[in-house]
Chains A and B, each alone.
Chain A
Amino acid sequence: MNVLIYLLPVALGLGMLGLAAFLWSLKSGQYEDLDGAAERILMDDDEAD
């Protein structure tokens, strides 16, 4: 059962990481233009320059 001492923090830590990543992406405006992001991936603007 001692293995739980490691497993629990690892499980919670990974969960926290996911939560932090989501809150960060929310704050950095990645959900502002979902339709635009879907189209942008298809634009080949890097060849233009």
Chain B
Amino acid sequence: MSCCGGALATSFALETVDPASALRAEELMRSGRVNEDGTVQYVFSVPDISCGRCMATIETALAPLDGVVSARVNLTMRRVTVVLDAADRSPVVVSDALERLGYGATPVDIGDLDDLSRQRESAGLLKALAVAGFAAGNIMLLSVSVWSGADAATRDMFHLVSALIALPTVAYSGQVFFRSAFGALRAGRLNMDVPISLAVVLALAMSVFESLTGGAEAYFDAAVTLLFFLLIGRYLDQRMRERARTAVTGLSRLAVKGASRVEDGELSYVPLDEVRPGMILRVAAGERVPVDGVVVRGTSDLDRSLVTGESAPFAASGGDRVEAGTLNLSGSIDIEALATAENSFLAEIIRMMDAAEKGRGRYVRVADRMARIYAPAVHILAAATFVGWLVVTGGDWYAATYAAMAVLIITCPCALGLAVPVVHVIGAARLFENGILMKDGSALERLAEADHVVFDKTGTLTTGVPRVTSSDVEGDDAGAARALAAHSTHPASRAILAFLPAASAGALSAVHEVPGCGVEGEVDGRRARLGRADWVGAIASGDGWSGARAGGVTFALEGGRLFGFQLSETLRGDAAAAIDDLKQDGLAVEVLSGDAAEPVARIAGELGLAAMASGQTPGMKIERLHGLQARGAKVLMVGDGLNDAPCLAAGDVSMAPASACDAGRLAADFVFTRDSLFAVPFAHRVAVKARRLVKQNFALAILYNCIAVPLAMAGYITPLVAAVAMSSSSIVVVANSLRLARNGKMGRRTQGAFAPRTTSRTAPLVREGVA
């Protein structure tokens, strides 16, 4: 179980900046819920939990803590539920303890969780499924005895018992279908549930009449088995969607829930929705800016990559505007709020997303398109059968109704009801194994249709973590530079730390960070600086590094030579190979970035992409997407930033990495949690294969109907034949769908790097990137 060891080893590097812990406690305490007996329940999302050992480690470590009543890990959800004994006890002890064990923990608002569970329809569907399963089994038992030749008295009794089981079952388990059918009829439409409901109700009514009058044939088993099969499809579909939604909510949130307010020199906690324009808010290093504002005190480097797509940090000082969601990297700053949270930059993005979504044009799912043809066809056939029998038999209402009902039952889309959801559920499971979460089944259908892929650059093609590509630093200076870099959390310092080999350095003292400039310290009495070229150059002598281009960092000892580090963005794992795969699969690929022209051109060049655009605002990006769509292209948008969120909503289908902003992650149809960009071609291949299987399933179901419907219209269908035909067609369809679970062509290139379960950790990329 190497996963636990890995988590422990990386823990030390994570938190160096400690936010004001009292404020954090207050924020944490708001996420808890007070139980009736006075204890308080907290739920933490801990994405690094991955095995039984993690579970045991956490539970044994938390249980003896002061005030902890109980601590329980949920391995499936990767959550820890902790009950504390009193409302005024600070839950910080718990999150600190988890942090010490090496598990990053994010409190989950129990209110959010309750909302989720209230929306959970799958629990109700499962109960309906259980009841239908019970009834189907028992009625089938009775029916088999009838079919094997029970005498008249026993047959009638069995029919009556079947009726007693079937009636309440249909009334309870059939509600989903009746409600949907009723809704569709009221709106003047036909959907798949209309023939289903009609068949079930008609079969039930006919069978009750048969049983009461001592008839030989009753369709109780067909009616209930039908419900049972269809509920399986419904349940699978529903559960898949809920699982994805829960997983997305469980990812640690980037958005701040509150802010630190500065008032008369005192800090206090303000929930985000109570922030008003004019308030002075403090943003410590390592935090995100809560609302749009203007800097009033302090200087710092800000990382706007998630907001605008710019890759280079931006040095902010008094008077500069900052957007909500910007990450503060080096120094603490005070900002004056210019807008409430609802009116911040984020809100504008959300308005654009809404507009984009409305313009997208509603996608009609394959199953619904099918229903539009299928439902009227079934009704026409049943009506034709009814009229035909009336004419042939010379007005025998009973025989005519009976034949029409047989047509409805036999055509009832059992196999059709399973054809799509089973494929989608298996597809979702296949993607989930590879760290890709899918929001709903229609996303898979839309992804299969995509013929154009548009990538964002910063955070999507690249990881947002810079790396050093070249440097001329040498000898003792390298050691000193490394020691100095170790004292800063700035991404550039981290990159230098990773680039230079560990070496002994002179004693380093008086280290301090100069926000907006760099880090300064003393080595053996000489000042040393690491940071911006002009600031470092002020203490250096003579000429040194000439390549002081943008994105570079310099180092010098007082009176010494100026050395430089050339930084560039790190490409996401396998980006080049993944893009090759996409091109091979016949997709057009292009880059749309909000970053400056030079870095975009470099990344596009490395990946061999000719189509690119830089300096794009969110509005320009959407225009580009609409332009493509107007030419008939189906666009897959892959992006992560706030500036991409409207595009994620506007694209025909969209993907986002787990490190994306909240808005982006919610807008995207797929979220991939692993570092590798192989997620994109992999998901596309699964989608294409799923589409093929769905088509095959429909073909199988139609073939079955071509044989069964003429028999039913001719009146040759008995309850026994109906039961066998329905079950066998459903089994064939499910068996065909299961082929998606096999490793097929998808594996070609993805075998090595993207084989299932290369790692069991699905920690957010941000964390992995930093560690």
Q: Are the CB atoms of B76 and A36 closer together than 8 Å? A: yes
Near B by CB (< 8 A), chain A positions 1-49 give: 1, 4, 8, 11-12, 15-16, 18-19, 22-23, 26, 32-36, 39-40, 42-43, 45, 48
> When the two chains form their complex, are residues B52 and A39 in contact, meaning their CB atoms are under 8 A apart?
yes
Residues of B within 8 A of A26 (CB): 123, 126-127, 130
**In the bound complex, CA of A19 to CA of B74 (Å):** 26
Q: Decide if B141 is an interface residue (CB 8 Å cutoff).
A: yes
Distance of A1 Cα from B126 Cα, bound (Å): 37
24 contacts between A and B (CB under 8 A): A1-B154, A15-B134, A16-B134, A19-B130, A23-B127, A26-B123, A26-B126, A26-B127, A26-B130, A33-B75, A33-B76, A33-B77, A35-B75, A35-B76, A36-B55, A36-B73, A36-B76, A39-B51, A39-B52, A39-B75, A40-B55, A42-B52, A43-B55, A43-B56
Check A4–B60 contact: CB distance below 8 A. no
CB-defined contacts of A18 to chain B, threshold 8 Å: 134
In the complex, A26→B124 CA distance in Å? Answer: 11
For A34, what are the chain B residues with a Cβ–Cβ distance below 8 Å?
76
B620 is an interface residue with CB less than 8 A from chain A:
no
A19–B138 alpha-carbon span in the complex (Å): 12
Instruction: List 8 tightest A-B contacts by C-beta distance, closest first.
Output: A39-B52, A36-B75, A19-B134, A35-B75, A33-B74, A35-B76, A33-B76, A15-B138
Q: Within the complex, what minimum Cβ distance (angstroms) separates B121 from chain A?
A: 14
- Please name 9 further chain A to chain B contacts, defined as beta carbons within 8 Å, in addition to the given A4-B154, A39-B75, sorted by A numbering: A1-B153, A4-B157, A11-B141, A16-B134, A33-B75, A39-B51, A39-B52, A40-B52, A45-B60
User: Hey, which bits of chain B sit against chain A, CB under 8 A?
Assistant: 51-52, 55-56, 60, 73-77, 123, 126-127, 130-131, 134, 137-138, 141, 153-154, 157, 161, 165
How near does chain B come to A10, taking the closest CB pair, in angstroms?
12
Chain A interface secondary structure, helix, strand, loop or mixed?
helix
Interface residues of A (CB under 8 A from B): 1, 4, 8, 11-12, 15-16, 18-19, 22-23, 26, 32-36, 39-40, 42-43, 45, 48
Complex CA gap A19/B56 in Å reads: 34
Q: How far is the CB of A28 from chain B (nearest CB, A)?
A: 13
Closest CB of chain B to A5's CB: distance in Å? 10
> With A and B bound together, what is the CA distance between A43 and B75 in angstroms?
14
Q: Which residues of B are found within 8 Å of A23, using beta-carbon distances?
A: 127, 130
Please classify the interface of chain B as helix (H, G, I), strand (E, B), loop, or mixed, using the class held by over half of its residues.
helix
> Which residues of A are found within 8 Å of B165, using beta-carbon distances?
12
Inter-chain contacts of A42 with B (CB < 8 A): 52
Q: How far is the CA of A43 from the CA of B134 in the complex (A)?
A: 35
Give Cα A45–Cα B548 distance, bound, in whole angstroms. 60
Q: Which residue of chain B lies nearest to A42 when distances are taken between CB atoms in the complex?
A: B52
CA distance A22 to B153 in the complex (A): 34
B134 to chain A: closest residue by CB: A19
Q: Which residues of A contact B55 (CB under 8 A)?
A: 36, 39-40, 43
CB pair A32–B52 under 8 Å, yes or no, is no
Give Cα A31–Cα B759 distance, bound, in whole angstroms: 25
- Cα–Cα, bound, A12→B759 (Å): 48
B130 and A48 contact, CB distance less than 8 A: no
A31 CB to nearest chain B CB (Å): 9
> Quick one: which of B51, B56, B137, B153 contacts A45, CB cutoff 8 A?
B56
Q: Please state if A15 and B154 are interface contacts (CB–CB under 8 Å).
A: no
Q: Is the CB of A48 within 8 A of B60?
A: yes
Given contacts A23-B127, A39-B55, is CB(A15)–CB(B137) below 8 Å? yes
Q: Chain A nearest CB: distance from B47 CB in Å? A: 14
The closest CB in chain A to the CB of B137 belongs to A15
Cα–Cα distance between A34 and B243 once the two chains are bound (Å): 14
Distance between Cα atoms of A42 and B127 in the complex (Å): 31
Q: Which residues of A contact B137 (CB under 8 A)?
A: 15
Q: Which residues of A contact B75 (CB under 8 A)?
A: 33, 35-36, 39
Query: What's the nearest-Cβ distance from chain B to residue A6, in Å?
Result: 13
Q: Are A32 and B161 in contact (CB under 8 A)?
A: no
| A residues in contact with B51, CB < 8 Å | 39
Cβ distance A14 to chain B, nearest Cβ, rounded Å: 10
Residue of A nearest to B142 (CB): A8
Query: In the assembly, what is the distance between CA of A25 and CA of B56, in Å?
Result: 24
A32 CA / B75 CA spacing, docked (Å): 10
Contacts of A19 in B (CB 8 A): 130-131, 134
Min C-beta distance of A25 to chain B, whole Å: 10
When distances are taken between beta carbons in the complex, the residues of chain B under 8 Å from A22 are 130
Separation of A47 and B127 alpha carbons in the complex (Å): 39
Q: How far is the CA of A19 from the CA of B60 in the complex (A)?
A: 37
Whole-angstrom CA separation of A35 from B50 in the bound complex = 10
Chain A residue with the shortest CB-CB distance to B54? A39
Contacts of B127 in A (CB 8 A): 23, 26
Q: How far is the CB of A19 from chain B (nearest CB, A)?
A: 4
Q: Smallest CB-CB separation from A36: which chain B residue? A: B75
What distance in Å separates the Cβ of A20 from its nearest Cβ neighbour in chain B?
A: 10
Residues of A within 8 A of B131 (CB): 19
